[in-house]
Every structure is written in C-alpha cells, then in structure tokens.
Chains A and B, each alone.
Chain A
C-alpha cells in the first residue's frame, strides 16, 4: 500500500510539472499572459521564503529575538552586494546561527 501511495504521489507531482509542457493541450498564451508569467519566478520563490522568516507556529514573529529575520536581512544584503549564492547562504547562515546563540 505504501508503494502504491508513493507511486500516486509521484504521478501528482509529475503531472503538475508536465501538464502545460504538453503541446497538444489546446492553450495559446497571449502577450499579456506571457508578460504576467514573466513575474512568476520572483513571486513564487518569495512566497516560499518570506513565511519561513516571519511566521513560526502560525504566528507573526517580528521580535528582535527572531534569528530568521537577522539571518534573512544579512542574506538579502549579501545577495544585493555579491550576487553570489555561496556568499548569500554563508553570510545569512552565519548571522542566523549567531542570532540563535546570542539573542
């Protein structure tokens, strides 16, 4: 049963990824829709990381003891200055760990 469930889950994730790549799907995207979709990467990735920083146990945490915010701010500055994934993760995680230990 577990294997069947894993198989069904695989089918679901694959379908969500593949569906709109299928050419036979009768769907034409106009220029406005294309322009709208050009914002999908920043919009989705932001909607994934923002709650990780600000929401814990379903509560808004804007206190200065929230090490996720300090880590996030450091990561944002590092990303802005260096444009490097390595530096961003390194500096962000450093600030996150410091915050977790000292706040």
Chain B
C-alpha cells in the first residue's frame, strides 16, 4: 500500500518535471497578462481570476483587451469560443482513453487540458492506467500553479512595467511549440501535415480568417492522413 502511494507520487513528480520547461517558457506571458490586465483597469482579484478559472493564454489576453474597450458581451464570448475551439480537437483525440474514466478525473483533466498538457499526451499509453493519470495531474497541475504564479507576478509588477504587448514575447511561445513539434516529425505523413499546416496557417493569418487556426490544422491533419493512406495501398 505504502509503495503504491510512493509510486503514484513519483508519477506526479515526473509529470511536473516533464512540464517544467513549458511552465518556465510561459513566464513572460503570465507576467504580460497580469500587468496588461492591471494597465487596462482591472483589479488584482479580477486579473488573478482570469488565470484561476479561465486558465488560457491567448484567450485571456484577447478578452482582457476586448473587455477594456467595452466590446459587447456576445462579441467577447464569441471571440473566446473561436480561440478556444482548437480544444475540441484535443478532447476528441483523448476521448477513447478518457471517456470511461470516473467523472472527477474527466472534469479535473478536462479543466487542465491546455496546449501544453495535450502536447505531453502523445504517448500511446497516456491516461491508460492510474500512474498515467497521476502523471497527467502532475503535469497539468504544476502548469496551472506556474501560470497563476506568473500572473500574480505580473499583477504585482503591473504598475511599474511598460506595455509589454510589443516586446516580442510571443517568440518564447513559438520556440516552445517548435521544441514540441520538430522531434515528433518521424515520418513522411507527419512532415506533410506540418508543412501544410504551416503554409495554410500563415495564409489564413494574413487574411485574419476567423477559425483560421483550426481550419489550417484540420487541413494539415487531412493531408498527413491522406499520405499515410496512400502509402498503405
């Protein structure tokens, strides 16, 4: 019994350790969000609440800007839905592993299911057994704590910091995702998927297409899938 508990704790620790580089990489973004919210007139409590219950990156920064400009509520909510819609793909991808798990696991891991946690969920055995579930809690939970700590730092420093939205902090996000994607390109279908997704996401972004991110990803997936099918024939 005791050793089992120890093993579960070790799984939590392993998850937190694997997540650590990603938790550190969002430090500038957390600070940016916290200070931005203060500079746009939100209280410290409200700013922290964004990170505590919404727990998103881009969606928090965009909605804080929109709310500060007194954008109509429905527009704010719709923007949030558009930005968050990529998560539908994550839920679908993990559905087979998680659908039969107890409700508290699904609710908890669903809440923690960020880009970062999903990127650590690629293993075939992910979420299959109790240790894998605890691993995910360690990864997702530590990322949650980090994001909220970085937000708090931004809130505290908020008044003294300059407007950071133009400082090029988004490069840290790009570098993180490059680190997650490149080592995974192990076959021609995945390479095709990544290339198609690159070209289309850039084009859609130039034309500021709503849902451009999800559309580009879906077409990249389809391209990779097609190449895989063709090679099986």
Contact = CB atoms under 8 A, between A and B. Distances in A.
Partners in one complex: yes
Interface of A: 2-3, 5-10, 12-14, 16-23, 27, 29, 32, 34-55, 58-60, 67-68, 71-72, 75-76, 78-80, 83-86, 88-89, 92-93, 96, 100
Nearest to A52: B174
B208 A58 contact: yes
B221 A21 contact: no
B24 to A, nearest CB: 8
Interface residues of B, number: 88
A31 to B, nearest CB: 11
Interface in B130-175: 168, 170-175
Contacts, number: 255
Contacts of A37: 89, 92-93, 221
B193 A42 contact: yes
B84 A68 contact: no
B interface: dominant SS: helix
A86 B171 CA distance: 14
Interface in B43-59: 46, 49-50, 53-56, 59
Contact of A85 (B87, B170, B176): B176
Given A13-B54, A39-B193, 20 more contacts: A2-B42, A6-B54, A16-B81, A21-B99, A23-B99, A39-B189, A39-B190, A41-B119, A42-B184, A44-B86, A46-B197, A48-B213, A49-B178, A53-B174, A58-B205, A58-B208, A75-B174, A75-B178, A80-B183, A89-B25
Interface string B64-99: 000100000100110011001111111111111011
